[in-house]
Chain A
């Protein structure tokens, strides 16, 4: 904790939602977003993840990043459970628009419609969108 912020410490538990909107590769957003998620979990916050737009591809089974010579970080999503991150919301419309179904995803998720996703965001204290 830094001193310069001079704010109350301890006992603060906020609801953090990390919104993933980009495909896993093609840009670094997905990978670096996941790095923030893991740090937030270490701060004992109430963390949830939302996947929408091309972000739903981050959870697609059978990813092979070898051809790109990039790190395949998809398995990290399976480890989120160990960080007590259990709330993964995937937008139904984004899946449908891309011809994906829930059983093609690498981890158990809660599929929600766009209206419900909007409501979930409203309930958060902090929303970070990547």
Chain B
């Protein structure tokens, strides 16, 4: 099955990004596909490579980048939400790209299930 994922919360403050990551990793582990993860609202902060969590904590941004590289996931950050919050191309972590909300709707149309992680 193909899963699209929508993440609406930033890292650390909410568990949404953690849960979305674990869901994606588990789905891939079981042989499903995750062609795209769309980051919206405060979720756009998940693409900011400048984050430096403490050594003994998980690095959410790097974790997404690594998952994307391993499985060819398209990590899309919403342009309108990103501009509002100062997230720009020059601070994006690897594997992330900025694009429009159409990419979210497209994921809804093309995948079997769209799963939202938010507040």
Contacts and interface: CB of A to CB of B under 8 A. Distances in A.
Contacts of B116: 127-129
B27 interface: no
A39 interface: yes
Interface stretch (B12-20, B46-54, B96-104): B96-104
Count class of interface residues, chain B:
20 to 34
Contacts, number: 63
B108 interface: yes
Given A28-B41, A32-B81, A130-B118, A5 B106 contact: yes
A68 interface: no
A39 B100 contact: yes
Contact of B114 (A12, A32, A128): A128
Interface string B87-111: 0000000000000111111111110
Q: For chain A, give the interface size range.
A: 20 to 34
Nearest to B42: A28
Contacts of A43: 102, 105-106, 109
Given A2-B106, A43-B106, 10 more contacts: A5-B110, A8-B110, A14-B108, A39-B102, A39-B105, A40-B108, A125-B108, A126-B109, A128-B6, A128-B108
11 contacts: A8-B110, A28-B41, A36-B101, A36-B105, A39-B100, A43-B105, A43-B106, A126-B109, A127-B116, A128-B108, A128-B114
Interface of A: 1-2, 4-5, 7-8, 12, 14, 16, 28-29, 32, 35-36, 39-40, 42-43, 45, 125-130
